[in-house]
Amino acid sequence: MNFQKITLVTFGYFENDFLQKLIKKIHTEFFINVQLKEGHLDLSDFYEPNRRQYDANKLLHHFEKEYATDDSKTICLINVDLFIPIFTYIFGQAFLGGRSGIASIYRLNNERYGIEADTNLLLERFAKEIIHELGHTFGLIHCQITDCVMRSGTYVEDIDQKNISFCSKCRENLMLQQNNK
Ligand SMILES: [Zn+2]
Ligand SMILES: [Zn+2]
């Protein structure tokens, strides 16, 4: 498989200016084209009334089936609260070494935590989350380096602690993966 591009598929409304800035940040990390697509979905099929959240595994498999292609790494962007059975919530997930992933902006904004809105911080957090999931699709696993974008995090503060980029070891692995394809 030869991955020549990254595709971001949006579900629900995201401001165009915000998306353009997001694309720029992602492009800087991967050096390949990033394209946008609009997706459509009836979210009610993925809602779990007992948890009042959306089933991330179900969504991921749906996106993989409907939107993933062999020539792209595809990340679906969404604004709902995601869960998987073993966690209270997740920011996103992806198929390791696969074609697709999912990232939610839902828990990344300050207002959710009673703090004043900060669009730049929101952009930074979402970009990190998307880059992290893209890293997984390129076969990268979680990294122990504190500021590496591949470090796993439970809270939004964990995202703020890490950099938007890969540590040198992850960068090296990423290059190997990209060149092998
Ligand atoms: Zn991860
Ligand atoms: Zn790393």
pLDDT tens sequence across 5-29: 999 999 999 999 999 999 999 999 9
- Rounded to two decimals, the pTM is 0.96
Q: Are strands 47-48 and 53-55 parallel, antiparallel or unpaired?
A: antiparallel
Identify the CA nearest to 131 among candidates 57, 36, 25, 39. 25
Q: What is the pLDDT of residues 68-113, one digit of tens each?
A: 999 999 999 999 999 999 999 999 999 999 999 999 999 999 999 9
Rounded to the nearest whole angstrom, what is the distance from the C-alpha of residue 169 to the centroid of ligand 2?
Answer: 6
The residues annotated as belonging to the active site are 133
Rounded to the nearest whole angstrom, what is the distance from the C-alpha of residue 178 to the centroid of ligand 1?
Answer: 19
The closest ligand to the CA of 130 turns out to be 1
Rounded to the nearest whole angstrom, what is the distance from the C-alpha of residue 143 to the centroid of ligand 2?
Answer: 5
Q: What is the pLDDT of residues 163-180, one digit of tens each?
A: 999 999 999 999 988 776
Rounded to the nearest whole angstrom, what is the distance from the C-alpha of residue 131 to the centroid of ligand 1?
Answer: 10
The closest ligand to the CA of 148 turns out to be 2
